[in-house]
Amino acid sequence: GQNIDQPTEMTATEGAIVQINCTYQTSGFNGLFWYQQHAGEAPTFLSYNVLDGLEEKGRFSSFLSRSKGYSYLLLKELQMKDSASYLCAGVDSNYQLIWGAGTKLIIKP
């Protein structure tokens, strides 16, 4: 079966760094997305990885290891507005997104 695993909740301090992990099992693999979702709002795109390695985009970076079925989202210089849920989604062989349950990130001052 297909499965995306990520922690349910994480807490971090303003100004710090946090890494949100995601492991995936999909039938075929065509990349992995990270989305951010604030409470009561729709998800917004953060990153897409299809090749191994780290992609940096400002304060956010995303890493992929296809051999390990593993990805992480790295958030630096955390701000209070980063408090949100972070959704990991793998793309399977039918180009469908398989969604994780999301990681709720709580930022404390």
Instruction: Tell me which stretch binds other proteins (CB under 8 A): 19-27, 53-61, 63-71, 87-95.
Output: 87-95
Question: Out of 73, 84, 91, 107, which residue is the one contacting other proteins (CB under 8 A)?
Answer: 91
Closest to other proteins by CB, 45 or 58: 45
Task: Enumerate residues 21-40 that contact other proteins by CB under 8 A.
Answer: 30-31, 33, 40
Token pair for 32: 């992995």
> How many angstroms separate the CA atoms of 22 and 100, rounded?
8
Q: Does 51 bind other proteins (CB under 8 A)?
A: no
> How many angstroms separate the CA atoms of 28 and 3, rounded?
12
Q: Does 69 bind other proteins (CB under 8 A)?
A: no
Q: Which residues bind other proteins (CB under 8 A)?
A: 30-31, 33, 40-45, 48, 85, 87, 91, 95-97, 99-102
